[in-house]
């Protein structure tokens, strides 16, 4: 693509779309990332990796590092509460040639945030800045961070955190416009995204309450952010990156994309595991259709490929005469 047409840059790296698939643990795997990229997502975040587990060489963490060439730019996202672990893990990850290393300061899971990792780093902006400074000085690729607005409603320190991230060398900041306490509940504060955009000079990605194509324009207009990160609204709806309203997509096309997604999953995983993982997406793919309850249940509990394909045909989501 022509670099002049880039939506924004991370350091010198051009990103050619202002719509970005969020890193969702258990959702944003390589097959789904590639699918969303084909619809228009601008770059691929590999969901958060635990620095200590990477350093221990745990197979599950190492398996997550795989990405397709068409996913670039690719962002590896790390979390930990230990600066040395993050430094060592980031340098190890750099050998796999991602385009960006991102530090997760947004995860609200209690087991992670309560020990000072993820959103727990928001309670110590100086430490957050120190981590960014160290990685920015040690790595040859850009460093970024994903944050929330604060630990809770009484500690909304997002401007202080954003300044610390920029001043210590980060090239990008993504903002989930809720506190750690809110998790995914309540209304996202788009005013806070706008305030961060006014405060820093690096690109800002806004995230939160983008549920439709209409919301994309509303958030961009309201906040002035450089790009928009889409999470749950993308599950079963890669068309949002087109951007194209889900209601405008005919059943036949939905079926074709389900088949494409399934085939990609089968190339990436063993059959049984692929089918189980696809269910998280399938329940959202079929959500707009009024399927009979028994058919819906069979479709979402199919355990082998012939059964799944037969149920997709019964639902009008696959070719009724395959191979003809």
Q: Which residues are catalytic?
A: 107
Q: List CB contacts of 277: < 8 A, sequence separation 6 or more.
A: 26, 29, 265, 269
Helix (H) or strand (E) holding 20: strand 19-21
Residues 68 and 95: their CA atoms lie apart, in Å, by 16
> What is the three-class DSSP state of 137?
helix
CA distance from start to end of the chain: 38
- Phi, then psi, of 227 in degrees rounded to 5: -155, 165
Q: Per residue in 5-25, is it b (16+ CB within 10 Å) or e — as a string?
A: ebebbbbebbbebbbbbbbbe
Residues 21 and 241: their CA atoms lie apart, in Å, by 8
Residues 250 and 261: their CA atoms lie apart, in Å, by 17
Q: Which whole-number Å values give the CA distances from 124 to 21, 165, 244, in the listed order?
A: 28, 12, 41
Residues 317 and 244: their CA atoms lie apart, in Å, by 20
Burial class (CB in 10 A: 0-12, 13-18, 19+), 220: middle
Burial class (CB in 10 A: 0-12, 13-18, 19+), 247: exposed
> What is the three-class DSSP state of 157?
coil
Residues 49 and 94: their CA atoms lie apart, in Å, by 13
């Amino acid at each position: 693509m022509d670099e002049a047409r880039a939506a924004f840059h991370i350091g010198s790296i051009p990103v050619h779309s202002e719509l970005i698939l969020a890193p969702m643990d258990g959702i944003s795997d390589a097959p789904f990332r590639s699918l969303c990229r084909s619809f228009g997502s601008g770059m691929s975040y590999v969901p958060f990796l635990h620095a200590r587990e990477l350093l221990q060489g745990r197979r599950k963490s190492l398996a997550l590092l795989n990405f397709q060439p068409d996913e670039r730019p690719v962002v590896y996202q790390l979390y930990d509460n230990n600066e040395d672990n993050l430094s060592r893990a980031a340098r190890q990850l750099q050998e796999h040639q991602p385009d960006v290393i991102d530090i997760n300061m947004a995860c609200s899971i209690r087991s992670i945030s309560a020990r000072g990792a993820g959103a727990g780093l928001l309670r110590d902006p100086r430490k957050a800045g120190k981590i960014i400074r160290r990685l920015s000085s040690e790595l040859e690729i850009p460093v970024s961070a994903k944050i929330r607005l604060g630990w809770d409603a009484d500690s909304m320190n997002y401007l202080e955190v954003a300044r610390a991230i920029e001043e210590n060398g980060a090239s990008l900041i993504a903002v989930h416009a809720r506190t750690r306490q809110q998790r995914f509940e309540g209304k996202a504060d788009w005013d806070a995204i706008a305030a961060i955009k006014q405060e820093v000079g690096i690109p800002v990605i806004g995230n939160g309450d983008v549920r439709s194509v209409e919301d994309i324009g509303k958030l961009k207009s309201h906040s002035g952010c450089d790009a928009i990160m889409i999470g749950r609204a993308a599950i079963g709806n890669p068309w949002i990156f087109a951007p194209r309203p889900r209601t405008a997509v005919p059943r036949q096309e939905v079926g074709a994309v389900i088949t494409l997604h399934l085939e990609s999953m089968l190339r990436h995983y063993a059959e049984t595991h692929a089918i189980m993982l696809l269910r998280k997406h399938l329940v959202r793919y079929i959500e707009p259709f009024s399927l009979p309850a028994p058919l819906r249940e069979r479709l979402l509990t199919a355990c082998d490929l012939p059964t799944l394909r037969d149920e997709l045909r019964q639902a009008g989501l696959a070719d009724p005469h395959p191979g003809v």
